[in-house]
């Protein structure tokens, strides 16, 4: 295959939707500045395409395709892990939460870092010592290879598909919000780009795309934080400014409603630095924390990164670097989020996107000189392009993980029983990549307008309830066997998915309609003072009243649209009128269930291979004997 | 092609006596020290982390106490999570180097043990 030509055609095909832009909807970037955004997008795409082109020459074997030949250094892998992990949800979502809800948003970010302690202590090195390309390789080491590969592959594909769908839908919505490109075009662009990276460059290109993206992300954040500090001061002064800021005080007053009446302005500002504005269900918080802390260690695309380094020591170094980068990033996010709360203000942020995702791009615009300046728009274009690169890099890692489960575990391991030539292995990997990539695009487009927030929760729930108990107990528990991991995978996955399906994550039409009806019914009462103000003759009052009227009209229109959308529909897709399980995150219940299932399954079942292989697995995972041999081809 | 599940079989030398290595007193020392260390560090890190959501939900008044200026206990405790996480990683890495040295001896002698 003439890779160069194919690659160029792929790149050209990619550029097409970007150049031949369909009718532009309104995005955060003003029309006259869109060319600037495309220029920065184009530059990033060009660099990553070049990297893929160079990488493609180095990808010859399955080991190159799945694990970059084990030739990634600890430092490089640390950046790549950060690039794989810091999704748009982190870069845009957490900064957005902090900008809208203060302390609670920051607290939310902590679990994402602590998750890496689990990875560092019990997962990274043992997996490096005995693993090869996939999560199933670890399970198949001492358990029945066929059964282990089947359950491992199914769970890998399940977790990756959930996460992938959330990312694809997020990409479509995000790019539309940023620059107004149509949803479908955004999804296809992300899909084709990611396919080009993975298909031609395998893990080598994926690693470099993730490194480039992580470096850009960190640089953009540092630059923004320095600008925020220069304006609002460092730590103590900065927080004092937050408390004293009129926009922040107004936001808190709006959030707490009637309780605000007896409080002074400073007291209101202080509440922004206290817990309770966003997270109302404590058990849900603890449950989410469990899913993060145990789920990250069970994420197939994260596990896979440890097979790219040559030794357990390099795996350790890479987690240390990843923790430094990820942790540093989240600390900066505190200043980005609160900076946006002061500089941009909650109404402007939530006005474009209620979830707060536009806080960072809008902050960049404001810091660079405002919506009408070249500097502001250049900076915003840069931050938007970084967000775009972020999505593509995360999606590439997920596709690689799902494709490796299909090609390496199911096709090569189970169907062909390892009897394949090296050429066939690479071919299988590429075909699986095209399949997963195409699937991601189709799912992304068909899920348009769907509520996908629960899919990330689902991915972490399955990873923490099924994958993590199976991997941990396979590595550290002598009695663990095939029966345990099969039962654990099934119970963990079913419990996690089942609980989410009956949780408040889904849309419950009856509740939505009741809320919408309330808005419609309450509109006349809200309009009364506005009509009065409009008739008052006071110019300032009229201007404010017109704004209020527009807001009420918008809310009523949205409520009516909802009433129409769910007409004659009273139940969620599970046929429920209200949630059966009150937590959004099932981890609190499903993780213990997963562990229990592995233990019970192991005790009830006997598997001679699992027992015989224990000494070998345990000695190897602890000492690293023969570890270098595993990647030598 | 050998099976991926047993890469050891690909090694040119005869298979190692895994049972004997497992029973070697040096391995037993390494194993018990490592497991004790990992378990206690893991438990500590989990307790420290979950104090944050638990504290924010059930000890809100404590989190609101101002330490200096507008900076309250909650902010400092959340920031301490980062310091503690990095500290755990640092401590683990230092300790792991000692385990590496113990393991290196076993890796060197692996061929001889049990023969």
- A476-505 pLDDT, tens digit each: 999 999 999 999 999 999 999 999 888 888
| Helices within chain B (DSSP H only) | 18-23, 25-58, 60-64, 73-109
Provide the pLDDT for residue A299: 94
DSSP state for residue A449 in the 8-state scheme: T
Between A49-63, A373-387, A391-405, B51-65, the lowest mean confidence (pLDDT) is in A373-387
Report, as an integer, the average pLDDT of A318-346: 95
- Most B CBs within 10 Å: which of A116, A329, A616, A617, as the mutation test of the B interface? A616
Q: Hey, is the C-beta of B73 within 8 angstroms of any chain A C-beta?
A: no
pLDDT band at A633 (very low <50, low <70, confident <90, very high): very low
**How far apart (Å, rounded) are the C-alpha atoms in residues A32 and A100?**
29
pLDDT over 80 at A14, yes or no:
no
ipTM value:
0.88
Between A96-105, A132-141, A428-437, A532-541, the lowest mean confidence (pLDDT) is in A532-541
Which is more confident, A10 or A577? A577
Report, as an integer, the average pLDDT of A158-172: 88
Q: What is the chain A residue with the closest CA to B35? A: A476
Provide the pLDDT for residue A426: 92
Percent of chain B scoring above 70 in pLDDT? 89
- Most A CBs within 10 Å: which of B2, B6, B7, B44, as the mutation test of the A interface? B7
Which residue's structure tokens are 């090694």? Answer: B11
Please state, in angstroms and as integers, the Cα–Cα distance from residue A579 to each residue in A145, A175, A451, A515, A563, following that order: 39, 32, 15, 16, 20
Q: Hey, is the C-beta of A284 within 8 angstroms of any chain B C-beta?
A: no
pLDDT band at A120 (very low <50, low <70, confident <90, very high): very high
Which is more confident, A577 or A325? A325
Q: Are A202 and A62 in contact, with CB atoms under 8 Å apart?
A: no
Between A15-24, A247-256, B17-26, B84-93, the lowest mean confidence (pLDDT) is in A15-24
Q: Hey, is the C-beta of B71 within 8 angstroms of any chain A C-beta?
A: yes
Exposure string (b/e) for A26-48, b if CB count within 10 Å is 16 or more? ebbbeeebbebbbebbeebbeeb
**How far apart (Å, rounded) are the C-alpha atoms in residues A396 and A305?**
12
pLDDT over 50 at B1, yes or no:
no
Provide the pLDDT for residue B4: 43
Provide the pLDDT for residue A152: 95
**How far apart (Å, rounded) are the C-alpha atoms in residues A324 and A318?**
10
Structural domain spans, chain B: 18-109
* Residue B104 tokens, joined: 């290196």
Class of domain A3-459: mainly alpha
Provide the pLDDT for residue A27: 67
Between A259-273, A329-343, A451-465, the lowest mean confidence (pLDDT) is in A451-465
| pLDDT tens sequence across A543-588 | 888 878 888 888 888 888 888 888 888 888 888 888 888 888 899 9
Q: List the single residue in B60, B69, B85 with the smallest CB-CB distance to A114.
A: B85
Report, as an integer, the average pLDDT of A336-343: 94
Contact residues, A window 468-527, toward B, CB-based 8 Å cutoff: 476
Provide the pLDDT for residue B6: 46
pLDDT over 70 at A1, yes or no:
no
pLDDT band at A24 (very low <50, low <70, confident <90, very high): very low
Report, as an integer, the average pLDDT of A235-239: 92
pLDDT over 60 at A197, yes or no:
yes
Provide the pLDDT for residue A334: 94
What is the model's pTM?
0.88
**What mean pLDDT, rounded, does chain A reach?**
88
Q: Are A369 and A33 in contact, with CB atoms under 8 Å apart?
A: no
pLDDT over 70 at B11, yes or no:
no
pLDDT band at A351 (very low <50, low <70, confident <90, very high): confident
Q: Hey, is the C-beta of B83 within 8 angstroms of any chain A C-beta?
A: no
pLDDT over 60 at A105, yes or no:
yes
- In terms of Cβ atoms closer than 10 Å to its own Cβ (0-12, 13-18, 19+), residue A68 is buried
**How far apart (Å, rounded) are the C-alpha atoms in residues A125 and A123?**
6
Which is more confident, A49 or A448? A49
pLDDT band at A2 (very low <50, low <70, confident <90, very high): low
A&B contacts, CB < 8 Å = 176
pLDDT over 90 at A400, yes or no:
yes
Provide the pLDDT for residue A411: 94
Provide the pLDDT for residue A300: 94
Tell me the backbone φ, ψ of residue A53, rounded to 5 degrees. -60, -45
List CB contacts of A369: < 8 A, sequence separation 6 or more. Answer: A375, A376
pLDDT over 70 at A5, yes or no:
no
Between A67-71, A536-540, A582-586, A595-599, the lowest mean confidence (pLDDT) is in A536-540
**How far apart (Å, rounded) are the C-alpha atoms in residues A354 and A307?**
40
Report, as an integer, the average pLDDT of A523-542: 84
| Helices within A131-144 (DSSP H only) | 135-142
Is residue B71 within a helix (H) or strand (E), and if so which, with residue range?
strand B71-72
Structural domain spans, chain A: 3-459, 517-565
Report, as an integer, the average pLDDT of A177-199: 88
* Residue A273 tokens, joined: 């630095």
Q: Hey, is the C-beta of A295 within 8 angstroms of any chain B C-beta?
A: no
Provide the pLDDT for residue A182: 87
Beta-ladder partners of A64: none
| pLDDT tens sequence across A293-312 | 999 999 999 999 999 999 99
Mean pLDDT is highest, among A50-59, A283-292, A412-421, A591-600, for: A591-600
pLDDT over 60 at A376, yes or no:
yes
Q: List the single residue in B38, B103, B107 with the smallest CB-CB distance to A122.
A: B38
pLDDT over 90 at A249, yes or no:
yes
């Amino acid at each position: 295959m003439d890779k160069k030509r194919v690659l160029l055609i792929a790149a050209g095909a990619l550029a097409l939707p970007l150049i031949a832009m369909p009718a532009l909807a309104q995005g955060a970037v003003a029309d006259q500045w869109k060319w600037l955004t495309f220029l920065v997008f184009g530059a990033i795409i060009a660099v990553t395409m070049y990297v893929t082109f160079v990488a493609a020459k180095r990808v010859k074997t399955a080991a190159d395709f799945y694990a970059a030949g084990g030739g990634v250094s600890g430092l490089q892998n640390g950046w790549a892990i950060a690039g794989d992990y810091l999704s748009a949800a982190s870069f845009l979502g957490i900064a957005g939460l902090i900008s809208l809800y203060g302390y609670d948003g920051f607290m939310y970010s902590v679990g994402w870092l602590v998750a890496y302690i689990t990875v560092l202590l019990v997962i990274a090195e043992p997996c490096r010592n005995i693993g090869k390309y996939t999560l199933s390789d670890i399970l198949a080491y001492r358990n029945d290879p066929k059964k282990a590969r089947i359950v491992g592959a199914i769970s890998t594909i399940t977790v990756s598909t959930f996460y992938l769908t959330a990312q694809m839908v997020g990409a479509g919505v995000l790019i539309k919000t940023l620059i107004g490109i149509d949803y479908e075009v955004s999804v296809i662009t992300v899909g084709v780009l990611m396919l080009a990276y993975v298909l031609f460059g395998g893990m080598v290109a994926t690693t470099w795309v993730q490194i480039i993206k992580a470096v850009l992300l960190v640089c953009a954040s540092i630059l923004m934080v320095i600008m925020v500090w220069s304006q609002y001061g460092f730590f103590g002064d900065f927080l004092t400014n937050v408390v004293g800021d009129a926009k922040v005080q107004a936001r808190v007053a709006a959030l707490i409603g009637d309780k605000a009446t007896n409080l002074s302005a400073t007291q209101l500002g202080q509440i922004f630095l206290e817990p309770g504005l966003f997270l109302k269900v404590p058990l849900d918080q603890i449950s989410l924390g469990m899913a993060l802390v145990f789920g990250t260690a069970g994420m197939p695309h994260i596990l896979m990164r440890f097979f790219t380094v040559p030794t357990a020591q390099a795996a350790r170094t890479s987690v240390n670097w990843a923790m430094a980068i990820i942790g540093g990033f989240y600390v900066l996010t505190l200043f980005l989020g609160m900076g946006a709360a002061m500089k941009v203000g909650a109404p402007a942020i939530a006005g474009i996107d209620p979830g707060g995702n536009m806080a960072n791009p809008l902050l960049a615009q404001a810091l660079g000189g405002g919506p009408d300046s070249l500097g502001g728009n250049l900076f915003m274009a840069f931050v938007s392009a970084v967000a775009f690169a972020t999505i593509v890099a995360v999606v590439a890692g997920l596709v690689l993980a799902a494709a490796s489960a299909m090609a390496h575990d199911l096709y090569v391991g189970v169907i062909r029983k390892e009897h394949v030539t090296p050429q066939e292995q690479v071919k299988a990997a590429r075909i699986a990549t095209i399949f997963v990539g195409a699937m991601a695009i189709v799912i992304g487009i068909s899920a348009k307008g769907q509520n996908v927030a629960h899919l990330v929760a689902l991915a972490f729930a399955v990873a923490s309830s099924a994958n993590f108990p199976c991997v941990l107990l396979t590595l550290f528990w002598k009695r663990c066997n095939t029966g345990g991991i099969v039962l654990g995978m099934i119970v963990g996955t079913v419990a996690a998915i089942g609980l989410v399906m009956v949780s408040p994550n889904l849309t419950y039409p009856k509740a939505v309609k009741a809320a919408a009806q309330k808005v419609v019914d309450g509109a006349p009462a809200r309009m009364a003072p506005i009509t009065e103000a409009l008739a008052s003759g006071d110019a300032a009052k009229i201007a404010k009243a017109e704004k209020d009227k527009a807001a009420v009209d918008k809310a009523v229109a949205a409520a009516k649209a909802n009433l129409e959308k769910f007409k004659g529909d009273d139940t969620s897709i599970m046929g429920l009128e209200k949630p059966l399980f009150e937590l959004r995150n099932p981890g609190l219940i499903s993780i213990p269930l997963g562990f229990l299932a592995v233990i019970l399954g192991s005790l009830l079942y006997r598997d001679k291979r699992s027992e015989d292989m224990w000494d070998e697995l345990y000695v190897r995972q602890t000492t690293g004997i023969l570890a270098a041999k595993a990647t030598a081809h | 092609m050998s099976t991926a599940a047993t890469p050891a079989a690909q090694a040119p030398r005869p298979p190692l006596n895994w049972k004997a290595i497992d029973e070697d007193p040096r391995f037993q020392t390494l194993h018990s020290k490592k497991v004790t260390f990992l378990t206690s560090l893991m438990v500590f890190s989990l307790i420290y982390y979950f104090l944050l959501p638990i504290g924010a939900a059930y000890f809100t008044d404590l989190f609101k106490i101002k330490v200096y200026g507008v900076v309250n206990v909650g902010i400092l405790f959340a920031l301490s999570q980062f310091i503690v996480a990095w500290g755990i990683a640092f401590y683990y890495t230092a300790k792991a180097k000692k385990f590496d040295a113990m393991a290196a001896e076993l890796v060197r002698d692996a061929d001889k043990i049990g023969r």
